[in-house]
Amino acid sequence: MDSKDFLHKLLLTPSPTGYEQPVQRIVRDRMKKYADSIETDLHGNVIVALNPKAPRKIMLAGHCDQIGLMVRHISADGFVYVAPLGGIDVGVLHGARVTIHAEKGPVDGIIGRKPIHAQTGEERERTRNDIEKIWIDIGAKNKKDAERRVQIGDVATFHLSVVEMANGLISSPGLDDKVGLFVAMEVLRICSTKKLNVGLYAVSTVQEEVGLRGAQTSAYGINPEVGIAIDVTHASDNPGNENPKVTPCKLGAGPTICAGPNINPVVEKMLKDAAKKTKSAFQIAPSTRLLGNDANTIQVARGGVAAASIGIPNRYMHTQVEVCSYRDLELAIKILVQFVLSVNSKTDFRPM
Ligand SMILES: [Zn+2]
């Protein structure tokens, strides 16, 4: 399986938060021939390691979970009502294709909507962001018919598909954060052919979308010295982002290297040096706040971890048409491989 196939497989496999097992199986399968060890912890994180006996440990985290929906009610006439799993944008659900991942197999459905002709002005406004007004139509005749296919508690995602666009752009639901997961695993795969001075742990973390939870448990378990989250970051190069106070972030201009209180300054500098050494374009992403990704909980695991974050520019986050650039993935992989190789026994990550 080549790398692009692996990425596409991740994107086409459902992993709504808390129900990540299908995508974790793909990760274990793909990585077994490159890893020295692979473990699945009790929380569901998949921990892929190289050189695990080394005294110094570096953790790379890419979260495998994606936002989704959970079935909470089936009406007498067979329509399926849902609650959000993670930060779903209800505004983009109207008219969307979805898949309910039921026990007997996937059930396709669509999210219906009262035709615009029939909506009052007030209705248009009121239903826009109200998940209670959303229903999935699976074509069932009635409740009994629906229940033969779908059960309360089943989870759903947007219909999973990959669209290849001009200029090396790709669109798919769940690019957040299957691209980060992909980068973490590719770095480990490439490092498996090199001599390492450190133990390298690529972690497919669970439950990021509901509170950065898999990174918290896996960082505790691994107890690394350095932990780098690889996650999508908001691109600003599409309409609607004309805010001069926001640091620009362009698709295809390289991954971002974050700065701020959530970031260890030694790791940040080494990442920038790694980018320069490999002639890889990157963008600077300053944040005065703690990050809304795995770097947040990794930093304060146990006695503290030298945390950092690499961002993959992403348009339309948390919709079914998220967009990323292949080029940013390639550059992120190059930078991280160089970073891992540059750590030696003398490297001191303590901020001094
Ligand atoms: Zn994410």
Lowest mean pLDDT among 62-71, 95-104, 115-124: 115-124
Provide CATH 3.40.630.10 ranges for the chain. Answer: 3-66+173-342
Query: Are the C-beta atoms of 277 and 234 separated by less than 8 Å?
Result: no
Average pLDDT of the residues in 127-143: 90
C-alpha 231 to ligand 1 mean position (Å) = 5
* Cα of 3 from ligand 1 centre, angstroms: 21
Q: Read off the pLDDT of residues 310-336 as tens digits, 9 standing for 90 and up.
A: 999 999 999 999 999 999 999 999 999
Task: Provide the pLDDT for residue 115.
Answer: 86
Instruction: Report the separation in Å between the CA atom of 181 and the middle of ligand 1, taken as the mean of its atom positions.
Output: 10
Look-up of token digits 């993959």: 312
Instruction: Supply the pLDDT for residue 114.
Output: 84
Summarize the confidence of residues 232-236 as an average pLDDT: 95
Closest-CA residue to 202 (of 290, 333, 306, 323):
333
350 C-alpha vs ligand 1 centroid, how far in Å?
27
What is the average per-residue pLDDT within 27-53?
98
Distance 174 CA to ligand 1 centre (A): 9
pLDDT tier at 123, thresholds 50, 70, 90: confident
Return the pLDDT at 264: 98
- Superfamily covering domain 68-158: Peptidase M42, domain 2 (2.40.30.40)
| Those residues with Cβ within 8 angstroms of residue 289's Cβ, 6 or more apart along the chain or in another chain | 260, 262
**What was the pLDDT predicted at 66?**
97
3-66+173-342, what's its fold?
Answer: Aminopeptidase (3.40.630)
User: Tell me, what's the pLDDT at 217?
Assistant: 97
Q: Which of 63-67, 91-95, 149-153 has the lowest mean pLDDT?
A: 91-95
| Dihedral sign computed on CA atoms, order 279, 283, 285, 286 | positive
Cα(293) to centroid(ligand 1), Å: 6
User: In the beta sheet, which residues pair with residue 71?
Assistant: 82
pLDDT of residue 101: 97
Question: pLDDT at residue 41 above 80?
Answer: yes
- Within 13 A of 302's CA, how many CA atoms are on the CB side? 16
The one catalytic residue in 103, 132, 147, 208 is 208
Q: Quick check: 245 pLDDT over 90?
A: no
- What's the pLDDT band for 125 if we cut at 50, 70, 90? confident
Strand bridging mode 256-259 / 283-286: parallel
Q: Is 147 a catalytic residue?
A: no
Gap from CA of 170 to ligand 1 centroid (Å):
17
Q: Which structure tokens are listed for 174? A: 């769940």
Note the pLDDT of residue 124.
77
Query: Separation of 171 CA from ligand 1 center, angstroms?
Result: 15
Where does the chain hold its CATH 2.40.30.40 domain(s)?
68-158
pLDDT at 282 > cutoff 80: yes
Is the pLDDT at 177 greater than 90, yes or no?
yes
pLDDT greater at residue 100 or residue 126: 100
Residue 351: its pLDDT value, please?
95
By the 8 A CB rule, do 64 and 210 touch?
no
Supply the pLDDT for residue 333. Answer: 98
Given a cut of 90, whether residue 119 has pLDDT beyond it is no
Compute, in angstroms, the gap from residue 66 CA to the centroid of ligand 1.
Answer: 8
Q: Mean pLDDT over all residues of the chain?
A: 95
- Mean pLDDT value of segment 98-112: 97
Answer for the pair 343, 326: CB distance below 8 angstroms, yes or no.
no
Name the H helices within the chain. 3-11, 21-31, 121-126, 143-147, 175-191, 213-222, 265-277, 295-299, 326-342
User: Which range has the worst mean pLDDT, 13-22, 124-133, 204-213, 266-275?
Assistant: 124-133
Q: How close is the Cα of 276 to the center of ligand 1, in Å?
A: 26
Average pLDDT over residues 261-288: 97
